[in-house]
Amino acid sequence: MNRHLSRNTRHASILPCPRRILPEKPLPRQDSPKALGNEGLKRRRRQTAMQNGLKKALILSMLPSNLSYVERFHLAKEVGFDGIEAPPISDPEEIKKIRAASELSGVPVHSIIYGGWHAPLSSADPRTVEKGLQDVQAALHCAKELGADTVLLVPAIVNESTRYADAYTRSQQNIRKLIPLAEKLKVVIAVENVWNNFLLSPLEFARYVDEFRSPFVKAYFDVGNVLAFGWSEDWIRTLGKRIQRIHLKDFKRSTRQFVNLLEGDVNWREVRKALDEIGYRGFLTAELGGGDANYLRDVAQRIDRIIAGV
């Protein structure tokens, strides 16, 4: 009983309450999955993602290649993606077509997936390095033309002919040559963790990036790539604000194979928590095999679940 009620109120006669007429089955909450339906759930997940500053993207090669660029970009939007990561393009006419498709669809090209395996900046061969430098420069210009602010770079390769220490030193020396152009174009060089026998711990990756002392060299973190020898959430928390972009893949340790999102051993709930902890806001880009509209829609919905933390 409420002690603040008046004395008279406390001792007043208690009249019987009218009988409530209840529905045979309780009505679902307006925000429940049943009330929202499939389309409503999609809208809510999309709104939640945008409120969190997280956006879904996919690589261009996942879209059907038999479609025009305009059709591919519209398909990406239709199935639920907010951005596209493109390969470096050298043909000016093709760049114009991609830029037009991006503008017509409202789906931006957010990054250029350059790579660098063919001409590693860690090579001892000056001709290989020169080729690599020229190609990264071209990728930076391509990014600028397409409105992207990031170029993905595999920084080095360690193998029987390239020692780890040499790969570390040479790659840093050569990436430093690219920083002035990156600054001029306002495009970040984002080095990615891949299976290149290099930057095998998050502490080393963080140190490697920090030693450039430039906001135009950051990390492109691949969630699935580290699962062979580490934990994605640990790497995210260690790299923190150094992360410029994120690739989404899943990996099964027992078979050592990449699998579809949510079907491997990535602890997606912890990954999601880690992203919040470091304040990551940006694109989550699926790097998977391609497929038709139904497959791509399913991938987008899997990313929705990752963003929702379920």
Residue ranges per structural domain of the chain: 46-308
Q: Can you give the pTM of this predicted structure?
A: 0.84
Residues 273, 275: Cα–Cα separation, whole Å:
5
How far is 104 from 34, CA to CA, in rounded Å? 35
Cβ neighbours of residue 146 closer than 8 Å, sequence gap 6 or more: 86, 89, 95, 98, 99, 102, 109, 112
What is the per-residue pLDDT across 175-188, written as a single tens digit (0 to 9) for each?
999 999 999 999 99
CATH architecture of the domain with range 46-308? Alpha-Beta Barrel (3.20)
Euclidean distance between CA atoms 151 and 138, whole angstroms: 10
The pLDDT score that the predictor gives to residue 17 is: 41
The pLDDT tens digits for 78-99 are 999 999 999 999 999 999 999 9
How does DSSP assign 54-67, residue by residue?
Answer: EEEEEEGGGS-TTS
Computed from CA positions of residues 295, 80, 87, 159, in that sequence, does the dihedral angle turn out positive or negative? Answer: negative
Nearest residue to 114 via CA among 182, 168, 162:
182
Pairing of strands 83-86, 54-59: parallel
Segments of the chain scoring below 50 in pLDDT: 1-28, 49
Cβ-in-10-Å burial (0-12, 13-18, 19+) of 31 comes to exposed
Structure tokens at 221: 């973190």
How many CB atoms neighbour CB 164 within 10 A? 15
Q: Summarize pLDDT for 268-303 with one digit per residue, the tens.
A: 999 999 999 999 999 999 999 999 999 999 999 999
